Structure 1
Amino acid sequence: MIEIVNFQPNHATAFKELNEAWINEYFEMEESDHKALSDPQGYILDKGGAILIAEMDEKPVGTCALIKMDDGVFELAKMAVSPEAQGQKIGWRIGLATIEKAKELGAERVYLETNSILKPAIHLYQKLGFKDAKGYCSPYARCNVQMELVL
């Protein structure tokens, strides 16, 4: 059974490991990755953001964060699903839950950054309603695609 839950301190290791795994598979860790993954409480939650965790049989298998940028604007970030749990629509479910959480937090827009080689992720974001966007300032060298969802 898959359940989407709010981040708790005991999820910190899974949040870090799930994200490090995909980042290191395709790219390399950058300074902003280290900040967010080493201190999710201070970097994301204490600033008005949120982190959701997908659990399968109470084991964390997916993550997604909302980082508050400006009033009404959040970044969807650090979405990851463990390889053994892929293909079970966990990305879709955690994506929908994250959009609902953004609405609860008063978001008017949610944007994200990704890379064009991550075609399954881009397809998922499109299915969730995200459209191509431009003009956001990215702290990541790897990001060459920006998308947003107007709520």
Structure 2
Amino acid sequence: MIEVRPFTPADADAFKSLNLAWIEPLFSVEPSDLAQLDDPQASIIDAGGCVLIADLDGTPVGTAALVRGHQPDTLELVKMSARGDLREMGIGKALMEASVAAARRMGAGRIWLESNRKLEAALGLYRSAGFRELSDDELKGTPYSRCDVQMVLEL
């Protein structure tokens, strides 16, 4: 059974490796990735966000994080990952549900994210959770060269 829980310092290596496992085969690892992956405590949690870990039988198998976004009532969903050999087990869905619940507890009015059209399964998950793609006049600048989709979920 998948259990989603808050990040602990012992999860740092899993947080980084689970995310590099999906970024490296498809894209370049960018400086903004490394800032979050190398020190999630300082770059995400201490900055007012949260990191979630999905466990399967006590082993980290997925991650998601919420960081303070472009506006005071907006959180950005970042670093969502699921172990490749365990896809279709509901890890993404469990992380998404936990992320939305955490955003509500944190007082957010919306969750914003960036993705890439190559990530069809992720886009499907986001749409099924109620995210909508931003129109051209709503798009914001991005620190990631890989991102070609921006989405928002109003809470």
For each residue in 1:130-149, what CA deviation from the matched residue of structure 2 results, as whole angstroms up to 9, or x when unmatched? 00113222100000000000
Letter in 1 for 2:132: K
Counterpart of 2:65? 65
Q: Structure 1: any 5+ residue segments left out of the alignment?
A: none
Q: Structure 2: any 5+ residue segments left out of the alignment?
A: none
Question: 2:140, 2:65 → 1: CA distance?
Answer: 18
Count of aligned pairs: 151
For each residue in 1:118-141, what CA deviation from the matched residue of structure 2 results, as whole angstroms up to 9, or x when unmatched? 111100000010001132221000
Does the aligned pair in 1 maintain the 2:75–2:108 contact within 8 Å?
yes
Deviation at 1:86, TM superposition (A): 0.9
Matches within 5 A, 1:1-150: 1-69=1-69, 70-133=71-134, 134-150=138-154
The TM-score with structure 1 as length reference comes to: 0.98
Question: 1:31, 1:90 → 2: CA distance?
Answer: 27
Letter in 2 for 1:142: R
Question: 1:49, 1:120 → 2: CA distance?
Answer: 25
Letter in 2 for 1:141: S
The TM-score with structure 2 as length reference comes to: 0.95
For each residue in 1:1-26, what CA deviation from the matched residue of structure 2 results, as whole angstroms up to 9, or x when unmatched? 21110000000100000001100011
Provide runs of 4+ in structure 1 moved above 6 Å.
none
Deviation at 1:91, TM superposition (A): 0.2
Question: 1:57, 1:136 → 2: CA distance?
Answer: 39
Deviation at 1:84, TM superposition (A): 2.0
**Which segment is superposed worse, 46-55 or 64-73?**
64-73
Letter in 1 for 2:149: V
Deviation at 1:83, TM superposition (A): 1.1
